[in-house]
Amino acid sequence: MRPAPEPFTELDARRLGPVRRYFARHPVVMDWVIVAIFVVPGVLYSLFAEQPHGSSPWSLVFFLLGGALLYWRRRRPVTVALGLTALGVLAIAVTGDTAGFEVAAMFAVYAVAASRPSRIAWPVLAIVVLALSAATLLWYDVITTADGEVLRQSVEPGRATVDRIVGILVTTVLCLIALAIGTNVRARRQHVSDLVERANSIARDRDQQAQLAAAAERTRIAREMHDVVAHSLTVMVALADGAKASGAKNPELAGHALDELTATGRAALADMRRVLGVLREPGGEQTVPLAPAHETPELEEIVERFRTAGLPVRLVRSGPQPTPGPALRQTAHRIVQESLTNVLRYAPLSPMVLVEVSRRAEPGADWLELRVVNQAGRRPGEGASADERGLPPSVAEQHPPGVPVGTGRGIIGMRERAAVYGGTVSAGPSGTGWEVRASLRLDLDPGRETGGRDDGRERS
């Protein structure tokens, strides 16, 4: 059995360099890199830079808390963005400085835009920018350095200054850039994901088609085996019984029956080898030699074989005779063969068996009509020739009403064969016996030849 294909992943579809591929396969490493980008400079600034009002411990706390929140940006992007915004507002209010939270806000907005639709990303962006801008406008102090000393110039809260306006613009621009990049990344990921899903869907469909084809092939093999075994064994049993019955009285007839029995057995064996030959494992050792396609016997040969087995079969062709292709001809012959096999099996004493082949043309369709009908035979002393099921009394005794006669696979197989050519098969009692009718559309046969012969001949 062929192993299932490995699923096609997004990494297979993306053209990444070694560094990007590494981070794509190990996203936690990228989480720590982003945390380090925010925390390390902030911690160094808090520990070594001179700040007014002894605000260094608070700055350190805010940086560490911000780094902890940033680590979860992929898993809870909206929550992290809102949490960092609140922490940034608090940091500006306490320390008088943005403390690098505009960078943290940029990473948070990117995470939201890259993982959430625009209807969520834009409101989050508005909240982040408005909150940090308001805090900057209200509490950001202007810090300048002169002669190596750190000075703090208090400005009236809410008053616009160049530094405050620049801080607001920096926060806004960084967040807008992050939103644009994140939205583009999300759209690209969605496109790649759609391509991946389509590729996997095509692979699944291909495997399903292969499984369906294998199932159809198994069904075909089972149908062929049924036709070969049922037909050949039934004929062989009838020939053996005939040879046994006529052995003493007519040795020549018995010898002819045995010759026909041998020929039927060999033909059945060849058919079975042909059918089972398709079961070779692909790439495995060839156990059955390749041969040309099996030649379907003509209807006359089929009828003659059953006539030799003891059935009084008559073949009648009426109207212009079509010349179907090999496949449709095999279908028609298999239907006739299965019908005659059932007659030989369930009504071997039938006094009359008729096989009719005709052609029916109608607007938009050209039909090949088959009809196999038999009269239910009876042994000396038996009453009615057939019951309501079309069975002779001797067979009806073995199959009381309600007990199925046979497996039904033969009729199912005939209907499946006919359905390939848009046809139908009906089978049932005819009052005096059993009748099978089949219709096959000749215009659906790509291998047929146009025209036909009008012989109207009867063969008996």
User: Where does the pLDDT of residue 5 fall: very low under 50, low under 70, confident under 90, or very high at 90 and above?
Assistant: very low
The answer to whether 309 touches 235, Cβ cutoff 8 Å, is: yes
Express each pLDDT in 400-415 by its tens digit. Answer: 555 555 667 778 888 8
For the chain, the farthest-separated pair of C-alpha atoms sits apart, in whole angstroms, at: 140
pTM of the model: 0.46
Cα separation of 225 and 219, whole Å? 10
Query: Of the given ranges (30-39, 229-238, 325-334), which has the lowest mean pLDDT?
Result: 229-238
Query: Could you tell me the CATH superfamily of domain 299-377+386-460?
Result: Histidine kinase-like ATPase, C-terminal domain (3.30.565.10)
Q: Please report, for residues 279, 326, 335, 358, 423, the alpha-carbon distance to residue 457 in angstroms, rounded to integers and kept in the order given.
A: 42, 22, 21, 11, 25
Q: Which amino acid is at 37?
A: I
Report the candidate in 337, 320, 300, 343 with the shortest Cα–Cα distance to residue 460: 300
| pLDDT, mean over the chain | 75
pLDDT at residue 180 greater than cutoff 80 = yes
Query: What pLDDT, on a 0 to 100 scale, did the predictor assign at position 196?
Result: 83
pLDDT at res. 334: 86
Q: Rounded to an integer, what distance in angstroms lies between the CA atom of residue 184 and that of residue 211?
A: 40
**DSSP character for 315?**
E
Q: If we measure between CA atoms, which residue out of 167, 150, 136, 151 comes closest to residue 48?
A: 150
Q: Which residue's entry shows tokens 């621009």?
A: 173
Residue 354 predicted with pLDDT over 80: yes
Query: 146, exposed or middle or buried, with CB in 10 Å at 0-12, 13-18, 19+?
Result: exposed
**Domain ranges across the chain:** 12-205, 299-377+386-460
Asked if 364 contacts 408 with a C-beta cutoff of 8 angstroms, the reply is: no
| Contacts of residue 366, Cβ cutoff 8 Å, sequence gap at least 6 | 322, 359, 360, 441, 442, 443
Between 143 and 308, whose confidence is greater?
308
Specify the pLDDT at position 291. 41
**φ, ψ at 238 (rounded to 5°):** -65, -40
Closest of 314, 341, 347 to residue 434, by C-alpha: 347
225, containing H or E segment: helix 162-246
Q: Which H or E run includes 365?
A: strand 365-375
Rounded distance, CA 248 to CA 149, Å? Answer: 136
Residue 37 pLDDT more than 50?
A: yes
pLDDT higher than 60, residue 397: no
User: What DSSP line would sit under 51-118, residue for residue?
Assistant: -GGG-HHHHHHHHHHHHHHHHTTTTSHHHHHHHHHHHHHHHHHHHSS-TTHHHHHHHHHHHHHHHS-H
pLDDT, tens only, 119-131? 999 999 999 999 9
CA distance 49 to 7: 53
Give Cα 249 to chain centroid, integer Å. 64
Q: Which two tokens stand for residue 40?
A: 């390390």
pLDDT score recorded for residue 346: 82
284 burial via Cβ count (<10 Å: 0-12, 13-18, 19+)? exposed
pLDDT tens digits, one per residue of 295-311: 557 888 888 888 888 88
Residue 291: CB atoms within 10 A of its CB come to 10
Cα separation, 232 vs 435, in Å, equals: 21
Q: What percentage of residues in the chain have a pLDDT greater than 70?
A: 68
Instruction: Kindly state the tokens that stand for 247.
Output: 């052995």
Give the model's pLDDT for residue 126.
92
